[in-house]
Chains A and B, each alone.
Chain A
Amino acid sequence: AQSVAQPEDQVNVAEGNPLTVKCTYSVSGNPYLFWYVQYPNRGLQFLLKYITGDNLVKGSYGFEAEFNKSQTSFHLKKPSALVSDSALYFCAVRDLGGGFKTIFGAGTRLFVKA
Protein backbone atom coordinates (compact mmCIF):
# COMPACT_ATOMS: atom_id res chain seq x y z
CA ALA A 1 0.00 0.00 0.00
CA GLN A 2 1.20 3.47 -0.76
CA SER A 3 2.07 5.85 2.05
CA VAL A 4 3.77 9.15 2.72
CA ALA A 5 5.63 10.15 5.86
CA GLN A 6 6.56 13.60 7.01
CA PRO A 7 8.68 12.82 10.05
CA GLU A 8 8.66 16.32 11.54
CA ASP A 9 5.49 17.90 12.90
CA GLN A 10 7.22 21.26 13.01
CA VAL A 11 10.33 22.89 11.58
CA ASN A 12 11.74 26.11 12.98
CA VAL A 13 14.20 28.21 11.01
CA ALA A 14 15.52 31.76 11.15
CA GLU A 15 14.79 34.12 8.29
CA GLY A 16 17.56 34.02 5.72
CA ASN A 17 18.66 30.52 6.63
CA PRO A 18 18.11 27.52 4.37
CA LEU A 19 15.13 25.31 5.12
CA THR A 20 14.36 21.64 4.54
CA VAL A 21 11.03 19.91 5.04
CA LYS A 22 11.36 16.15 4.84
CA CYS A 23 9.18 13.62 3.05
CA THR A 24 9.58 9.91 2.45
CA TYR A 25 7.24 7.68 0.53
CA SER A 26 6.38 4.06 -0.10
CA VAL A 27 4.70 2.94 -3.32
CA SER A 28 4.40 -0.26 -5.30
CA GLY A 29 5.30 1.33 -8.61
CA ASN A 30 6.77 4.58 -9.86
CA PRO A 31 5.61 7.61 -7.90
CA TYR A 32 4.31 10.97 -8.90
CA LEU A 33 5.29 13.30 -6.03
CA PHE A 34 3.87 16.68 -5.10
CA TRP A 35 4.33 19.42 -2.54
CA TYR A 36 1.49 21.69 -1.46
CA VAL A 37 1.36 24.59 0.99
CA GLN A 38 -1.58 25.66 3.14
CA TYR A 39 -1.82 29.11 4.65
CA PRO A 40 -4.24 29.74 7.55
CA ASN A 41 -7.91 29.52 6.56
CA ARG A 42 -7.02 28.74 2.94
CA GLY A 43 -7.06 25.71 0.69
CA LEU A 44 -3.90 23.95 -0.35
CA GLN A 45 -1.76 25.51 -3.08
CA PHE A 46 0.40 23.51 -5.47
CA LEU A 47 4.14 24.20 -5.15
CA LEU A 48 5.92 21.67 -7.35
CA LYS A 49 5.88 18.11 -8.64
CA TYR A 50 8.19 15.33 -9.74
CA ILE A 51 6.99 13.17 -12.60
CA THR A 52 10.15 12.04 -14.33
CA GLY A 53 13.50 13.40 -15.47
CA ASP A 54 15.80 15.66 -13.46
CA ASN A 55 15.85 14.75 -9.80
CA LEU A 56 15.93 18.41 -8.76
CA VAL A 57 12.59 20.07 -9.32
CA LYS A 58 12.05 23.83 -9.09
CA GLY A 59 8.70 25.26 -8.09
CA SER A 60 6.87 28.36 -6.95
CA TYR A 61 8.16 30.99 -4.51
CA GLY A 62 11.79 29.83 -4.78
CA PHE A 63 11.12 26.32 -3.47
CA GLU A 64 12.76 23.23 -4.89
CA ALA A 65 12.69 19.54 -4.08
CA GLU A 66 15.07 16.68 -4.64
CA PHE A 67 13.83 13.25 -5.65
CA ASN A 68 16.00 10.44 -4.30
CA LYS A 69 14.86 7.06 -5.51
CA SER A 70 17.27 4.99 -3.41
CA GLN A 71 16.20 6.73 -0.22
CA THR A 72 12.55 7.06 -1.36
CA SER A 73 12.62 10.69 -0.34
CA PHE A 74 11.36 13.95 -1.78
CA HIS A 75 12.56 16.70 0.55
CA LEU A 76 11.42 20.29 0.05
CA LYS A 77 14.12 22.96 0.23
CA LYS A 78 14.62 26.68 -0.04
CA PRO A 79 18.01 28.40 0.10
CA SER A 80 16.84 31.42 2.11
CA ALA A 81 13.67 31.33 4.23
CA LEU A 82 11.23 34.21 4.50
CA VAL A 83 8.85 34.93 7.37
CA SER A 84 6.05 34.71 4.81
CA ASP A 85 7.00 31.06 4.16
CA SER A 86 5.50 30.16 7.54
CA ALA A 87 2.68 27.74 6.74
CA LEU A 88 1.66 24.08 6.71
CA TYR A 89 3.38 21.98 4.05
CA PHE A 90 2.05 18.73 2.65
CA CYS A 91 3.86 16.10 0.65
CA ALA A 92 1.66 13.89 -1.56
CA VAL A 93 2.15 10.85 -3.74
CA ARG A 94 0.21 9.19 -6.54
CA ASP A 95 1.18 5.61 -7.14
CA LEU A 96 0.98 4.63 -10.77
CA GLY A 97 0.33 1.07 -9.68
CA GLY A 98 -2.16 2.01 -7.01
CA GLY A 99 -5.05 3.49 -8.90
CA PHE A 100 -5.84 7.15 -8.99
CA LYS A 101 -5.66 7.97 -5.31
CA THR A 102 -3.52 10.76 -3.99
CA ILE A 103 -2.14 10.15 -0.52
CA PHE A 104 -1.13 13.16 1.57
CA GLY A 105 1.34 13.24 4.42
CA ALA A 106 0.28 14.50 7.82
CA GLY A 107 1.81 17.90 7.15
CA THR A 108 4.75 19.81 8.57
CA ARG A 109 4.27 23.22 10.11
CA LEU A 110 7.07 25.60 9.19
CA PHE A 111 7.85 28.55 11.44
CA VAL A 112 10.26 31.16 10.10
CA LYS A 113 11.42 33.60 12.76
CA ALA A 114 12.52 37.13 11.90
Chain B
Amino acid sequence: DSGVTQTPKHLITATGQRVTLRCSPRSGDLSVYWYQQSLDQGLQFLIQYYNGEERAKGNILERFSAQQFPDLHSELNLSSLELGDSALYFCASSRTGLDAYEQYFGPGTRLTVT
Protein backbone atom coordinates (compact mmCIF):
# COMPACT_ATOMS: atom_id res chain seq x y z
CA ASP B 1 0.00 0.00 0.00
CA SER B 2 1.57 3.25 -1.20
CA GLY B 3 -0.46 5.48 1.12
CA VAL B 4 -2.00 7.32 -1.84
CA THR B 5 -5.76 6.92 -2.09
CA GLN B 6 -7.95 7.51 -5.10
CA THR B 7 -11.72 7.51 -5.43
CA PRO B 8 -13.71 6.17 -7.07
CA LYS B 9 -12.07 2.93 -8.22
CA HIS B 10 -14.34 2.59 -11.21
CA LEU B 11 -16.47 5.10 -13.07
CA ILE B 12 -18.79 4.48 -15.98
CA THR B 13 -20.36 7.47 -17.66
CA ALA B 14 -21.70 8.64 -21.00
CA THR B 15 -20.16 10.85 -23.64
CA GLY B 16 -20.59 14.53 -22.98
CA GLN B 17 -20.71 14.13 -19.22
CA ARG B 18 -18.40 15.55 -16.56
CA VAL B 19 -16.66 13.61 -13.78
CA THR B 20 -14.39 14.39 -10.86
CA LEU B 21 -11.61 12.11 -9.70
CA ARG B 22 -10.22 12.54 -6.22
CA CYS B 23 -6.77 11.87 -4.81
CA SER B 24 -5.33 12.03 -1.30
CA PRO B 25 -1.52 12.04 -1.19
CA ARG B 26 0.68 10.22 1.30
CA SER B 27 0.89 11.90 4.66
CA GLY B 28 3.49 14.65 4.48
CA ASP B 29 3.76 14.71 0.68
CA LEU B 30 3.32 18.16 -0.82
CA SER B 31 3.33 17.33 -4.50
CA VAL B 32 0.60 15.60 -6.49
CA TYR B 33 0.80 14.35 -10.07
CA TRP B 34 -1.92 13.12 -12.41
CA TYR B 35 -1.34 10.56 -15.17
CA GLN B 36 -3.49 8.92 -17.82
CA GLN B 37 -2.74 5.34 -18.82
CA SER B 38 -4.28 3.89 -21.95
CA LEU B 39 -3.33 0.97 -24.17
CA ASP B 40 -2.47 3.07 -27.19
CA GLN B 41 -0.88 6.10 -25.48
CA GLY B 42 0.94 4.48 -22.59
CA LEU B 43 1.44 6.48 -19.40
CA GLN B 44 0.97 10.19 -20.06
CA PHE B 45 1.81 12.90 -17.56
CA LEU B 46 -1.07 15.35 -17.24
CA ILE B 47 -0.28 17.87 -14.53
CA GLN B 48 1.61 18.43 -11.27
CA TYR B 49 0.75 20.52 -8.22
CA TYR B 50 3.02 21.48 -5.40
CA ASN B 51 1.56 22.81 -2.17
CA GLY B 52 -1.52 24.11 -3.93
CA GLU B 53 0.22 25.67 -6.91
CA GLU B 54 0.44 24.30 -10.44
CA ARG B 55 4.06 23.23 -11.01
CA ALA B 56 4.15 21.52 -14.42
CA LYS B 57 1.80 20.76 -17.23
CA GLY B 58 1.97 17.85 -19.62
CA ASN B 59 -0.42 16.57 -22.23
CA ILE B 60 -3.55 17.74 -20.49
CA LEU B 61 -6.53 18.58 -22.68
CA GLU B 62 -8.37 21.88 -22.27
CA ARG B 63 -11.46 19.87 -21.29
CA PHE B 64 -9.54 18.63 -18.25
CA SER B 65 -8.64 20.67 -15.21
CA ALA B 66 -7.22 19.98 -11.78
CA GLN B 67 -6.59 21.65 -8.48
CA GLN B 68 -4.92 20.97 -5.18
CA PHE B 69 -6.71 22.08 -2.04
CA PRO B 70 -5.27 23.49 1.22
CA ASP B 71 -5.45 20.04 2.84
CA LEU B 72 -3.32 18.85 -0.13
CA HIS B 73 -5.87 16.53 -1.65
CA SER B 74 -6.36 16.98 -5.37
CA GLU B 75 -9.18 16.65 -7.85
CA LEU B 76 -9.05 16.05 -11.58
CA ASN B 77 -12.09 17.27 -13.48
CA LEU B 78 -12.86 15.79 -16.88
CA SER B 79 -15.63 17.40 -18.92
CA SER B 80 -17.33 16.90 -22.29
CA LEU B 81 -16.15 13.33 -22.10
CA GLU B 82 -15.37 11.42 -25.27
CA LEU B 83 -14.96 7.71 -25.88
CA GLY B 84 -11.21 8.23 -26.18
CA ASP B 85 -11.03 9.48 -22.60
CA SER B 86 -11.61 5.95 -21.37
CA ALA B 87 -8.46 5.05 -19.48
CA LEU B 88 -6.87 4.45 -16.11
CA TYR B 89 -6.16 7.69 -14.28
CA PHE B 90 -3.42 7.59 -11.70
CA CYS B 91 -2.53 10.04 -9.03
CA ALA B 92 0.94 10.04 -7.52
CA SER B 93 2.55 12.03 -4.74
CA SER B 94 6.08 12.89 -3.70
CA ARG B 95 7.67 14.52 -0.67
CA THR B 96 8.40 17.77 -2.45
CA GLY B 97 8.30 19.00 -6.00
CA LEU B 98 12.01 18.51 -6.43
CA ASP B 99 13.17 16.32 -9.25
CA ALA B 100 15.10 13.88 -7.09
CA TYR B 101 12.16 12.46 -5.26
CA GLU B 102 10.41 9.32 -6.43
CA GLN B 103 6.66 9.24 -6.82
CA TYR B 104 4.20 7.00 -5.01
CA PHE B 105 1.21 5.97 -7.06
CA GLY B 106 -2.36 5.36 -6.04
CA PRO B 107 -4.36 2.34 -7.26
CA GLY B 108 -5.98 4.36 -10.04
CA THR B 109 -9.49 5.19 -11.22
CA ARG B 110 -10.71 3.25 -14.21
CA LEU B 111 -12.91 5.51 -16.33
CA THR B 112 -15.16 4.02 -18.97
CA VAL B 113 -17.00 6.39 -21.29
CA THR B 114 -19.86 4.78 -23.22
Whether the pair A103, B102 counts as a contact (CB closer than 8 A) is no
Question: Which residues of chain A are within 8 angstroms of B105 by Cβ–Cβ distance?
Answer: 36, 43-45
**Which of A32, A94, A101 has the most chain B CB within a 10 Å cutoff?**
A101
Residues from 63 to 110 in A contacting B, C-beta threshold 8 Å: 90, 94, 96, 99-107
- With A45-B2, A100-B97 in contact, do A106 and B103 touch (Cβ < 8 Å)? no
Interface size class of A (residues with CB under 8 A): 20 to 34
Question: Which residues of chain A are within 8 angstroms of B45 by Cβ–Cβ distance?
Answer: 101-104
Give the shortest distance, in Å, between B29 (CB) and chain A (any CB): 13
The A interface is mostly helix, strand or loop, or mixed, namely strand
- With A43-B105, A106-B42 in contact, do A100 and B4 touch (Cβ < 8 Å)? no
B62 near A: Cβ within 8 Å? no
Whether the pair B99, A42 counts as a contact (CB closer than 8 A) is no
Q: Which residue of B lies closest to A6 (CB)?
A: B42
Question: Which residues of chain B are within 8 angstroms of A106 by Cβ–Cβ distance?
Answer: 42
A2, B90: Cα distance in complex, Å: 22
Per-position contact with A for B77-114: 1 when CB-CB < 8 Å, else 0? 00000000000001010000101101111111000000
A58, B36: Cα distance in complex, Å: 29
B43 near A: Cβ within 8 Å? yes
- With A34-B102, A102-B45 in contact, do A43 and B33 touch (Cβ < 8 Å)? no
Question: Which residues of chain A are within 8 angstroms of B56 by Cβ–Cβ distance?
Answer: 99-101
Residues from 1 to 45 in A contacting B, C-beta threshold 8 Å: 32, 34, 36, 42-45
Whether the pair A49, B102 counts as a contact (CB closer than 8 A) is yes
| Interface residues of B, Cβ cutoff 8 Å to A | 2, 4, 33, 35, 42-43, 45, 48, 55-56, 58, 90, 92, 97, 99-100, 102-108
